[in-house]
């Protein structure tokens, strides 16, 4: 059983070099739709040695390209819960951007249900609070052309090098489409507020995660809460990476061990 758990953890979580086995706290990051672990790898060099970094690697991309992507939130959370639970004996925090914010939130709730200690902090980025009704039409079932057009208009998130290479686009689309299906079939259910602090982060000009949308996360915690906005839009975390990481490190400095 221990061997199987180790294999599950190593399969679903990537730890960029150099590892930090003696770190005071572990930051576990959830990717946004269509993304893989590579988007957070540069964070390792910006984080202090007291913060270890683990990144969720979802099926259907990068090292797991040949695997079928997951299309339902509950299946994603089931697998991530098994992978993350063994790490929760020591202080840890969860971070997620956009879709990843929903995943991190539901993961925190799933870990609570099986008696795992809570994260010292939950960082939710670029995503309106889960209890707010969705206002955008579903797109995951559209044909490839309209689907790509909708993604470009909504997020402008597909790199030009992929858009201009049909073979790369064919490799990229299944994971992106599956992630949109995860988001669009997600159904929020009410539970007691989490016992860990929540920091809601976003871009000041992000129309899909406004200040009010971020503020609405307050009801999901019985502990501390803060909203922090940065210059930029939905993908502010690319242009404001240093400032975002500094904010996370400051928050972790005040929370290590607070819930232990």
Q: Which of 49, 98, 125, 205 is catalytic?
A: 98
Q: Which of 194, 10, 15, 22 is nearest to 86 (CA)?
A: 10
Exposure pattern of 51-87 as b/e (b: 16+ CB <10 Å)?
A: bbbbbbbbbbbeebeeeebbbebeebbebbbbbbbeb
Conformational region of residue 34, where left means phi above 0, alpha means psi within -120 to 50, and beta covers everything else:
left
The Cα 143–Cα 117 span in angstroms is: 43
The Cα 183–Cα 71 span in angstroms is: 9
Largest CA distance in the chain: 50
Residues 180, 157 contacting (CB under 8 angstroms): no
Q: How far apart are the first and last CA of the chain?
A: 26
Conformational region of residue 175, where left means phi above 0, alpha means psi within -120 to 50, and beta covers everything else:
alpha
Cα–Cα distance list, 100 to 36, 76, 179 (Å): 11, 11, 10
Query: Is 125 one of the annotated active-site residues of the chain?
Result: no
Catalytic residues: 98
């Amino acid at each position: 059983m221990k061997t199987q758990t180790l294999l599950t953890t190593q399969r679903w979580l990537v730890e960029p070099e150099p590892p930090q086995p003696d770190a005071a706290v572990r930051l576990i990051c959830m990717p946004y739709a269509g993304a893989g672990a590579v988007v957070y790898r540069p964070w390792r060099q910006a984080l202090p040695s007291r913060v270890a970094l683990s990144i969720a690697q979802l099926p259907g991309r990068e090292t797991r390209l040949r695997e079928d992507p997951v299309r339902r939130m509950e299946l994603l959370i089931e697998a991530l819960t098994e992978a993350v639970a063994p790490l929760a004996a020591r202080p840890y925090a969860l971070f997620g951007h956009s879709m990843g914010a929903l995943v991190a939130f539901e993961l925190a709730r799933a870990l609570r249900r099986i008696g795992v200690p809570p994260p010292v902090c939950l960082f939710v980025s670029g995503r309106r609070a889960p209890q707010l009704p969705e206002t955008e039409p579903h797109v995951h079932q559209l044909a490839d052309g309209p689907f790509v057009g909708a993604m470009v208009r909504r997020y402008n998130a597909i790199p030009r090098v992929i858009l201009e290479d049909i073979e790369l686009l064919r490799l990229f689309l299944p994971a992106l489409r599956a992630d949109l299906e995860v988001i669009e079939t997600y159904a929020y259910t009410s539970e007691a507020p989490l016992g860990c602090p929540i920091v809601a982060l976003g871009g000041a000009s992000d129309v899909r995660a406004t200040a009010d949308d971020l503020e609405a996360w307050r009801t999901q915690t019985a502990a501390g809460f803060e909203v922090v906005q940065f210059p930029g839009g939905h993908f502010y975390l690319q242009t404001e990476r240093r400032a975002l990481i500094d904010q996370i490190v400051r928050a972790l400095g005040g929370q290590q061990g607070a819930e232990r």
